[in-house]
């Protein structure tokens, strides 16, 4: 699987973490490579992607899609900015709502 760049790859991982209710950590988040893993202790899920040779595209090199952890309600990937981006159009469409 390839992505147009590191930003698109990281956004896809964050979207995946939010959809599956899993908290992902990024121990290697550099310009030319990104490694993400599940933050639950002992969970073997991880993914690694780096620059494709002679290209700006990011390619997944290693991927283990096995989660042995439970879904989490305390996901640190949920931030105020992400909540605002998701619900901004609904709030703007209803200006008569009280805070």
49-73, pLDDT tens digit by residue? 999 888 888 999 999 999 999 988 8
Nearest to 76 by CA among 48, 41, 40, 52: 40
Alpha carbons 48 and 65: distance in angstroms, whole number: 12
Q: H-helix or E-strand containing 5?
A: none
19-53, pLDDT tens digit by residue? 999 999 999 888 889 999 999 999 999 999 999 88
pTM of the entire predicted model: 0.81
């Amino acid at each position: 699987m390839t992505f147009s760049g590191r930003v698109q790859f990281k956004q896809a991982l964050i979207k995946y973490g939010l959809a599956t209710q899993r908290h992902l950590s990024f121990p290697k988040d550099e310009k030319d490579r990104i490694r993400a893993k599940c933050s639950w202790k002992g969970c073997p899920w991880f993914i690694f992607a780096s620059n494709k040779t002679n290209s700006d595209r990011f390619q997944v090199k290693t991927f283990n899609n096995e989660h042995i952890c439970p879904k989490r309600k305390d996901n640190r990937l949920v931030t105020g900015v992400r909540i605002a981006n998701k619900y901004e159009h609904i709030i703007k469409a209803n200006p008569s709502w009280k805070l």
